[in-house]
Amino acid sequence: MTRLFITVVIIFIMTICSLAQEKPWTGPSADFSHGKLKVSENKRFLVFDDGTPFYYLGDTGWELFHRLKLDEAEQYLENRRQKGFTVIQAVVLAELDGLETTRRLRAELAPPRQPQVIAMTANAMQGDRELCLAAGMDDYISKPIRVEELMRALAASPENTGQPVGAEPHGPPTARPVREPRPESAVLDPKALQRLVATMGGEFAYLAELIDSFLADAPQLLAELAQFARTEDAAGVRRVAHSLKSNGADLGATAFTEQCKELEELGKSGALADVAVRVARLQTEYRSVEAALRTVRTAGIVN
């Protein structure tokens, strides 16, 4: 199943790349000076025709296809190009979420054709794991992604366990690692930043790009959040708080992430009585996060 998943991902990427190159982007974001994209000989990377590695730095643009007009999409893509992003992850059918997709897969596909489905989301609210499993998903991983958690989930696939799809796992479920407590006064969690750098091959330059991107985008997102709070737009509060929560968690902004989580829960429940006060508190916390991230950025090292 793992090989099948990797194969499907590679085919999807190559299909998108092929379509993109048949009708190339005419704006300044296009850069195929090294030739077309292809899978490397060891099947592990994307490279250009001349062997130049393809540097993958992705951003998520869930609203790209179904909300933005053409000129807005072009502006968004150019903005991300200037910030160093090379891949934009978007949803074609945003109205069909992961829960409903899984339900349909389980209802419509025969057992031999059933895929392994693992939820991977920045949602970590009470009951979300149960919702995913009830929809028919096999496992649940919350962001920021830990390599050991991902490997555990993949190792539990039918191909690796020898069990047929849909069979109950042998023995009790694997215990999830517990995060070590940290001082509440700390703005950033150094261990989270160290893990993030490690996942990027130990290159601080990549972390610096993520910090720059977060500091560039967060003020606008916070302004949108404040506007949604003023207009009592629960869906908007939930969506923006979710985005900020995910980014904050990746960078180890613990208190900031927790406040975003609380706002997301309020948006989910529709209880917006004190949301404006909470947004103001989040903006204050962001200023501390911004200062701490700029210190890390200037130091060029994570202690």
Residue range 199-209, pLDDT digits in tens: 777 888 888 88
For residue 260, the domain's CATH number is 1.20.120
What are the tokens at 223? 């302004």
Angle formed by the axes of helices 234-250 and 275-299, nearest 10°: 20
Compute the chain's Rg from CA coordinates.
21
219 falls in which pLDDT band (50, 70, 90)?
very high
Specify the CATH number for the domain of residue 157. 3.40.50.2300
Mean pLDDT of 37-54: 83
Select, from the ranges 54-63, 103-112, 252-261, the one with the highest average predicted confidence (pLDDT).
252-261
Type and span of the H or E element at 207: helix 204-230
| Same domain membership, residue 276 and residue 238 | yes
- For residue 31, give Cα distances in angstroms to 25, 36, 84, 199: 9, 10, 13, 26
Within-domain flag for 268: yes
| Averaged confidence pLDDT in the chain | 75
Number of structural domains in the chain:
2
Backbone φ, ψ for residue 161 (5° rounding): -95, -15
Q: What are phi and psi of 236, to 5 degrees?
A: -65, -40
pLDDT tens column, 155-211:
776 654 444 444 444 444 444 333 343 343 368 888 888 888 887 778 888 888 889
- In sequence order, what are the residues at sequence separation of 6 or more whose Cβ sits closer than 8 angstroms to the Cβ of residue 119? 98, 129, 132, 137, 139, 140, 141
Residue 152 domain-assigned (yes or no)? yes
